[in-house]
Amino acid sequence: MNEKRVRQLNTADYKGGIIVYWMDRDERYRHNHALLYAGAQAKEHNAPLVVVFNLVVDFLSGGMRQFDFKRRGLRELQDTFIKHGIAFTILLTDDSPRDLLHFFQEVQAGMVVTDFSPLRIQRTWKRAVKKELKIPFFEVDAHNIVPVWEVSEKKEFAAYTIRKKIHTQLPEFLVDYPRMPEVKTIRAPKTDWEAIQNVKLDGPDIVDTSSGERAAHNTLRRFIASRLDGYAEKRNDPNEEALSGLSPYLHYGQISPQYVALSVRGANAPLNDREAFLEELIVRRELADNFCYYEPKYDAFEGFHEWARKSLDEHRKDKREYVYTRAQFEKAKTHDNLWNAAQREVVDTGKMHGYMRMYWAKKILEWTESPEDALKIAIYLNDKYELDGRDPNGYVGIAWSIGGVHDRAWNERPIFGKVRYMNANGAKRKFDTEGYIRRFLGEDKFI
């Protein structure tokens, strides 16, 4: 285990007691650096290991769709831990670390290890836990291949500024995982599954996308076997099943990006396909974590680059041909069938194709009164309907579309200023837009 992945958040010394892995972002047993680190500590100190998961019911306002997916993954995960002889407890709780602190006391924890997320809410929990803990508290970046604090010390301007920094460090970090050591465990407090099964939340219908570590690995295997070959050419066509479909599994940490990268790198597919995929999985995804980590306003207008803010400001008063309310967007009631089809895709399936996400967000900018309104509506809809929502990739994808984050200035035009514009004709040149509309709105749109 590369120690650069790990940092101690306080200065306490270990004086004996149980090692607790507080699992948060990385909901998996296999290829999990935070679990491996906790396991290594347990081995070194000859102490038992126990894993706890803080299940916040409406985490970042997620609804039943997201909760159900998470719950199904956690159910399988608990069985996996039991099979490997490690106690695993899920605490059903509200948005505060109170129950977690109580758990640490109850099991007489001597050390806490947790995983890493750049999002505000998780950083706030960690600060609160750190304030109370008198035992060593470690954080392990188990999500990024190159740990976020190693790849760069600052907010990167664009993919081209972070790419070289990542690539020069890949030989050190993109390596095989060590084995999980054999560890002792304890009888930990039981998970209240009945309460978890009884949780009812509002929000869109649940979707039948399989959840859990096994489903994540099957999805990866199928992608490599049948779709990686051709990915570079077909990935911008929403009518092709060309993408990996891995984003929900990556978002919930049900599969390790490092393992995915190693599998794709070693796959028997053309080099340009593997490189195109690894650019998205590694550079774009880790750039999103870099942005959220170093930019406290990652989901606000103030987080955009100065050139974009200035340019959008200069176009605030431009006439908007169409202005829609959040409800009209949500119900897919715009004048544009291509946009409506994209909205229906995410409402019905829990996932919008990557190319359409750009078009979708840019049109929200075009059809609202202000960039602030556009940002709020796009984040609200993205987080409400996407299975992979509430993720750094989402905040950054939306900031790229609406605020030019990680992009460059383009030719000036109404409303968008120098932020890149997209229109339906561009989409038509790339793929059969009518076929896409038919799939999600039905034939009647063409009668």
Ligand X SMILES: Cc1cc2nc3c(=O)[nH]c(=O)nc-3n(C[C@H](O)[C@H](O)[C@H](O)COP(=O)(O)OP(=O)(O)OC[C@H]3O[C@@H](n4cnc5c(N)ncnc54)[C@H](O)[C@@H]3O)c2cc1C
Half-sphere exposure of 113 (CA within 13 A, CB side): 25
**Residue 391 in contact with ligand X, rule: CB under 6 A:** yes
Q: Which of these ranges, 149-157, 267-275, 315-323, 392-400, lies near ligand X under the rule CB under 6 A?
A: 392-400
**Residue ranges in 282-301 that form contacts with ligand X under rule CB under 6 A:** 284-285, 288
Which CB atom, from 52 or from 281, has the smaller least distance to ligand X?
Answer: 281
- Nearest to residue 353, comparing CAs of 412, 439, 421? 439
DSSP helix/strand/coil, 139: strand
Q: Give the residue, chosen from 382, 384, 415, 416, that forms a contact with ligand X under the rule CB under 6 A.
A: 382
Which CB atom, from 357 or from 418, has the smaller least distance to ligand X?
Answer: 357
Distance from the first to the final alpha carbon of the chain: 61
**Residue ranges in 24-63 that form contacts with ligand X under rule CB under 6 A:** none
CB of 86 vs ligand X, minimal distance in Å: 28
**Residue 281 in contact with ligand X, rule: CB under 6 A:** yes
Paired strand residues for 92: 55
Buried b (16+ CB within 10 A) or exposed e, 153-185: eebbeeeeebbebbeebeeebbeeeeebeebbb
Q: Torsion angle, CA of 438/216/116/57, rounded to 10 degrees?
A: 70
Which CB atom, from 35 or from 374, has the smaller least distance to ligand X?
Answer: 374
How many residues bind ligand X (CB under 6 A)? The answer is: 28
Residue reference for tokens 């990996």: 244
Distance of CA 8 to the CA centre of its chain: 24
- Nearest to residue 121, comparing CAs of 298, 254, 373? 298
**Residue 354 in contact with ligand X, rule: CB under 6 A:** yes
Which CB atom, from 113 or from 142, has the smaller least distance to ligand X?
Answer: 142
Q: Torsion angle, CA of 203/205/210/211, rounded to 10 degrees?
A: 20
The tokens of 60 are what? 């970042």
Interior angle at CA 427, CA 423 and CA 428, nearest 5: 115
**Phi, psi angle pair for 112, to nearest 5°:** -120, 130
CB < 8 Å & 24+ apart, contacts of 328-336: 329/364, 329/367, 329/377, 329/381, 330/381, 332/441, 334/363, 334/367, 336/363, 336/424
Q: Which of these ranges, 21-29, 84-92, 165-173, 397-405, lies near ligand X under the rule CB under 6 A?
A: 397-405
Q: Give the residue, chosen from 244, 258, 290, 343, that forms a contact with ligand X under the rule CB under 6 A.
A: 244
**Residue 144 in contact with ligand X, rule: CB under 6 A:** no
**Residue 251 in contact with ligand X, rule: CB under 6 A:** yes
Per-residue binder mask for ligand X (CB under 6 A), 203-242, x = binder: --------------------------------x-------
**Residue ranges in 87-126 that form contacts with ligand X under rule CB under 6 A:** none
**Residue 405 in contact with ligand X, rule: CB under 6 A:** no
CB of 80 vs ligand X, minimal distance in Å: 22
CB of 271 vs ligand X, minimal distance in Å: 17
**Residue 373 in contact with ligand X, rule: CB under 6 A:** no
Q: Give the residue, chosen from 78, 337, 393, 433, that forms a contact with ligand X under the rule CB under 6 A.
A: 393
**Residue 389 in contact with ligand X, rule: CB under 6 A:** yes
d(CA 244, CA 250): 11
**Residue 404 in contact with ligand X, rule: CB under 6 A:** no
Q: Annotate 175-215 with DSSP letters as a single string.
A: SPPPPPPP-----PPPP-HHHHHT----SSPP-----SHHH
Paired strand residues for 49: 19
Q: Give the residue, chosen from 243, 261, 312, 346, that forms a contact with ligand X under the rule CB under 6 A.
A: 243
Which CB atom, from 38 or from 361, has the smaller least distance to ligand X?
Answer: 361
CB of 399 vs ligand X, minimal distance in Å: 9
- What sign has the CA pseudo-torsion 177, 179, 183, 187? positive
CB of 254 vs ligand X, minimal distance in Å: 12
Q: Give the residue, chosen from 63, 204, 245, 270, that forms a contact with ligand X under the rule CB under 6 A.
A: 245
CB of 414 vs ligand X, minimal distance in Å: 21
**Residue ranges in 312-331 that form contacts with ligand X under rule CB under 6 A:** none
- Nearest to residue 35, comparing CAs of 155, 213, 226? 213
Q: Which residues of this chain interact with ligand X, rule CB under 6 A?
A: 235, 243-247, 250-251, 280-281, 284-285, 288, 354, 357-358, 361, 382, 386, 388-389, 391, 393-394, 397-398, 400-401
